[in-house]
């Protein structure tokens, strides 16, 4: 006698949500319940919310706004926002005075030090005024002060996001290396390690074959509703990822910005995605904990694989970094104040939680242990290598997954079927 596979439809799940009887959990809540010995089964869960908050290079801003009155210039050939060069077009908007532009999150300003597109995007979301400069085909230079509310169109596009976790990095060479994978130069002789990835919280870790995610799937991007509009630029089965689109208006600044590394500024972006538990196959992909999620250890120079651990090695309810002002000796030249990669610490006000990435750099450099956080170690070649940097914010990801959970329960976020499957590309690197 064959067993009938368990399944439910999205319509049935949405009906339970409307009636207030749906059982919705974040991945972290499920992990904690399982760790406490609870037996969680398919019947006990209708929707699971996943999330990641991490460094994501592949984002850009798409903007359209008026820079001059109609009939003033034919078109603008050069445009910059706070000194960051944008790409005008593709529509020339002849004689309209309106510009359509694309601006990369990784682009740097020529007029503001340590300022990138990622910082600009957060400044706009925070309501700050920016300087817009445009040069016309005729050679006229027009400058204008502007806020996000002055723009008729402002959206963030992600080309490669929510990659199914990432790697740990160590440096086996004898020389320190400046790299996007460290805040301080990464010491040689395997003395220090860094890692990226939110482990079991990651969206694709819970839907690795894109059984649920697809073209048109509704998600949260930096706290506001957005959509998956296709597979990411490197969407292979080993590292699935997504392209996304969302309006800047409505985003929350604490989920975005920039992160200063020893090799320059990188973008911060956050993605949350719901997974309706439609069948047992979907459920079986979700009930994995961090010890079942591989963490590959790479040589930071060359990216060749050296070893493999699990995300349990680095994540174990150690998500939040805390500060004890009683231990702070008020250094004349505070190393944390100067080094914090998100400018989240100030001697007078302490940690700015809207900017803190919980990366742990402060724990490493503070001379009096005023900052507390268990950064763990990574095992390689019979050596426990201390982690000195976390480039994913598990605490922030949990908060975003929790936000999504409550939005679904409150009817602010309706789960809908995707319009098409996500295509996986052949793996070429």
Q: What angle do CA 241, 85, 223 make, to 5 degrees?
A: 40
Calculate the CA 273 to chain-centre distance: 12
pLDDT at 297: 98
What is each CA distance from 187 to 143, 176, 218, 296, in whole angstroms? Answer: 45, 4, 42, 19
At residue 200, the 3 state secondary structure works out as helix
Q: Give the pairing of strands 383-390 and 242-247.
A: unpaired
State how far the Cα of 409 lies from the Cα of 403, in Å rounded to an integer.
10
Name the DSSP letter for residue 42: G
Q: Which two tokens stand for residue 3?
A: 């067993």
Report mean pLDDT in 10-residue bins for the chain, 429 residues: 74 97 97 94 97 96 96 95 96 92 97 97 98 95 97 97 95 96 95 97 97 98 98 92 98 98 96 97 92 96 95 97 90 89 93 98 95 97 96 98 98 96 81
Rounded to 10 degrees, the C-alpha dihedral 324/327/333/336 comes to -30
Token pair of 1 as six digits: 């006698």
Sequence-separated contacts (24+) of 364-370 with Cβ below 8 Å: 364/184, 364/388, 364/389, 365/184, 365/335, 365/336, 365/339, 366/335, 366/336, 367/329, 367/331, 367/335, 368/327, 368/328, 368/329, 369/327, 370/323, 370/324, 370/325, 370/327, 370/328, 370/329
Task: Take residue 133 and report the two structure tokens written for it.
Answer: 């400069």
CA neighbor of 392 nearest in space, from 339, 283, 318: 318
* Burial label, 57 (beta-carbon count in 10 A; 0-12, 13-18, 19+): middle
CA dist 25 and 45 (Å) reads: 7
Rounded Cα gap, residues 10 and 64, in angstroms: 37
Please enumerate in sequence order all residues whose Cβ is within 8 A of that of 379, keeping only pairs 6 or more positions apart, or say none: 307, 309, 313, 385
Q: Is the peptide bond before 295 cis (omega within 30 degrees of 0)?
A: no
Whole-model pTM: value is 0.95
Read off φ and ψ for residue 205, nearest 5 degrees.
Answer: -65, -30
Alpha helices, DSSP H, located in 234-293: 280-286
Which pLDDT does position 428 carry in this prediction? Answer: 58
In 3D, which of 26, 35, 33, 24 has the Cα closest to residue 312?
35
Given this model, what pLDDT does residue 217 score?
A: 98
Give CA–CA dist 137/156, Å, rounded: 27
Reference 239, options 301, 300, 166; nearest CA is 166
Mark residue 113 as left, alpha or beta (left: phi above 0; alpha: psi -120 to 50; beta: remaining).
beta
Q: How far is CA 237 from CA 50, 163, 240, 277, 335, in A?
A: 19, 11, 5, 21, 42
pLDDT at 429: 52
């Amino acid at each position: 006698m064959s067993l009938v596979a368990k399944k439910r439809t999205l319509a049935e799940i949405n009906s339970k949500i409307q009636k207030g009887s749906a059982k919705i959990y974040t991945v972290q809540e499920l992990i904690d319940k399982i760790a406490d010995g609870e037996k969680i089964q398919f019947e006990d869960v209708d929707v699971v919310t996943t999330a990641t908050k991490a460094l994501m290079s592949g984002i850009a801003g798409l903007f359209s706004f008026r820079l001059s009155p109609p009939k003033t210039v034919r078109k603008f050939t050069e445009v910059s926002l706070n000194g960051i060069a944008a790409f005008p077009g593709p529509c020339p908007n002849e004689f309209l005075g309106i510009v359509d532009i694309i601006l990369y999150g990784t682009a740097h300003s020529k007029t503001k030090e340590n300022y990138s597109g990622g910082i600009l995007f957060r400044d706009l979301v925070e309501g700050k005024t920016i300087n817009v400069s445009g040069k016309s085909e005729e050679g006229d230079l027009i400058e204008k002060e502007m806020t996000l509310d002055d723009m008729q169109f402002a959206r963030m596009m992600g080309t490669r996001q929510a990659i199914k976790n990432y790697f740990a990095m160590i440096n086996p060479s004898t020389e320190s290396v400046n790299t996007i994978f460290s805040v301080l130069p990464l010491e040689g002789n395997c003395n220090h390690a860094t890692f990226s990835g939110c482990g079991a919280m990651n969206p694709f870790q819970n839907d690795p074959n894109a059984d649920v995610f697809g073209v048109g799937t509704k998600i949260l991007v930096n706290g506001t509703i957005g959509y998956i509009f296709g597979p990411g630029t490197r969407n292979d089965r080993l590292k699935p990822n997504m392209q996304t689109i969302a309006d800047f208006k409505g985003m929350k600044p604490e989920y975005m910005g920039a992160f200063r590394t020893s090799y320059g500024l990188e973008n911060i972006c956050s993605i949350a995605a719901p997974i309706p538990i439609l069948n047992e196959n979907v459920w079986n992909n979700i009930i994995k904990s961090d010890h079942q999620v591989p963490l590959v250890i790479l040589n930071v120079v060359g990216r060749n694989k050296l070893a493999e651990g699990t995300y349990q090695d680095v994540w174990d309810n150690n998500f939040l970094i805390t500060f004890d002002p009683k231990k702070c000796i008020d250094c004349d030249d505070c190393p944390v104040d100067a080094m914090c990669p998100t400018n989240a610490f100030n001697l007078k006000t302490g940690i700015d939680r809207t900017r803190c990435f919980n990366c742990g750099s402060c724990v490493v450099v503070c001379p009096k242990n005023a900052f507390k956080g268990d950064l763990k170690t990574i095992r390689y070649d019979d050596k426990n290598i201390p982690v000195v940097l976390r480039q994913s914010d598990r605490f922030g990801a949990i908060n975003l997954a929790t936000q999504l959970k409550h939005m679904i329960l409150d009817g602010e976020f309706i789960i809908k079927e995707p319009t098409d499957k996500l295509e996986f590309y052949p793996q070429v690197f």
